Structure 1
Amino acid sequence: MARGEEVDRRIHEAALELLRSRGPAAVTVEAVAAESGVARTTIYRRHRDRDEVLESALKEIAATNLLTPTEDVWADMRQAIELLIATFQQNQGVGVFLGLITGGDPELVELIRAKLLRPRIELGIMRMRAGVATGQIRPDADVETAADLVLGAVAARFAHAGTFPQEWIDSVVDLVRSALEVR
């Protein structure tokens, strides 16, 4: 790994660790410098401010755990749920989740929505629309709401239980399938 990539990795890891462990307000350039061991001047050469540090780190999260579509929309839904779970369980999701629900910083909330959530939800919606085109999902199905329900189910399960047994994943897919499948 090149030196610049290593520095960026340390900055991103520190920003995400602060976000995860102490919430959005704890992510400052000074705190990232202390956590990462990277000088503030180096961070400022790469990023204009705290928001740019977070945006860069969130882009890195967004590039991981991506859905690989198959011919089976229901298998893809299961995979999407497992990828959402992985994001939460890799601890990065904890801070993102806290950032959204505390809502103390409207710009941070919008950054998380724009860089992390909307692109993933849009991919899920596109995949369900493809399921409509292949006859697996009813043409009149509200796939946007279905995507919200799946994301909400994972977030709620994370919030109250923190565990995701395979039976739970299966039951979410079965429930959504019974609502959307062509009969």
Structure 2
Amino acid sequence: MSDASGARDERITAATLELLRTKGPRAVTVEAVAALSGVAKTTIYRRYSNRRDMLTASLSSVAEPEPLADTATLPIVTQWVAEQSRYVIDASIGAGGLAALLTDEDPEFTTLIRALLVEHRRRLAEALSRALTAERPRSELDVETVLDMIVGAYLAENARSGTARDDWTERVLSVIDAALGSGQQDRHRTSRSA
């Protein structure tokens, strides 16, 4: 792929995600993406056979969580899980996609985004389970509920305030740390030494 081709693909992805975040999946059409990205419709159709392919490629680009070392401590993993959860909401579906997901206004989109979110969540759950097992082998903590609490806290703050405060991650992690009995000191110490 040439640099020009890569730049065009990035513009297509950015436009697709911008339309999804701000206006919902029904606003994501080849025509709208072409207008917002400045990439010709014919070029878009050469890359993607339809809207679903364009949405899939664009969402897949942000649904893959950044890798985390298998040896990361539980406080580092919980911080990573919170940051990845926030990122996938902010950088991919946004308010427009979330509204469509909750109302099922676009069933094709709902099916697509749920499949991507399930895969993203599986990876977060695996990392959290691994860290929890390594540090607290007898823990009966429900990892799925911890993930629900993190995402729910983020969505609730956005619903209540219109945005999440800059210190959202730290505030959520302080609650999780208290529940897990792990200290933020471990997170800060490991962050600085990494």
Change (3 A) 1:88 1:47: same
Question: Greater CA deviation, 150-159 or 43-52?
Answer: 150-159
Deviation for aligned residue 1:88 = 4.4
C-alpha distance in 1 between matches for 2:11 and 2:95: 19
Residues 61-94 of structure 1, C-alpha deviation per residue, up to 9 Å, x if partnerless?
Answer: 224x625345321222123223433444558633
Kindly tell me the number of residue pairs found equivalent between the two proteins.
179
Q: What amino acid is aligned across from residue 20 of structure 1 in structure 2?
A: R
Contact 2:86/2:151 (8 A) holds in 1: no
Q: What is the Cα deviation at residue 165 of structure 1?
A: 4.2
More displaced stretch, 125-134 vs 68-77: 68-77
- List aligned pairs for 1:94-109, cutoff 5 A: 94-109=95-110
Change in Cα spacing, 1:146 to 1:91, as seen in structure 2 (3 Å) is closer
Paired letter, 1:71: A
Question: Separation in 2 of the partners of 1:156 and 1:28?
Answer: 30
Percent of aligned pairs sharing the same letter: 35
What's the TM-score, normalizing by structure 1?
0.82
Q: How does 1:6-45 map to 2 (within 5 A)?
A: 6-45=7-46
46 and 91 in structure 1: CA distance in 2 versus 1, 3 angstrom threshold: closer
Partner of 1:75: 76
Could you report, residue by residue, the CA deviation over 1:31-84 in whole angstroms, capped at 9, with x for unpaired residues? 112222222222111111111111111011224x62534532122212322343
Code of the aligned partner of 2:112 = L
Structure showing greater relative contact order (alpha-carbon pairs closer than 8 Å, 6 or more residues apart): 2
Mark the runs of 5 or more structure 2 residues left unpaired by the alignment. Answer: 183-194
1:1-183 aligned within 5 A: 2-63=3-64, 66=66, 68-69=68-69, 71-90=72-91, 93-115=94-116, 117-136=117-136, 138-161=138-161, 162-166=163-167, 168-181=168-181
| Contact persistence 2:63–2:88 (CA under 8 A) | no
> Aligned residue for 2:188?
none
Residues 141-160 of structure 1 deviation map (CA, whole Å, 9 limit, x = unaligned): 21112111111111221222
Structure 1 gap ranges (5+): none
Alpha-carbon distance between aligned partners in 2 of 1:84 and 1:67, rounded to the nearest angstrom:
14
The answer to which of 90-99 and 27-36 deviates more is 90-99
With over 3 angstroms needed to count, the CA separation of the structure-2 counterparts of 1:41 and 1:169, relative to structure 1, is: closer
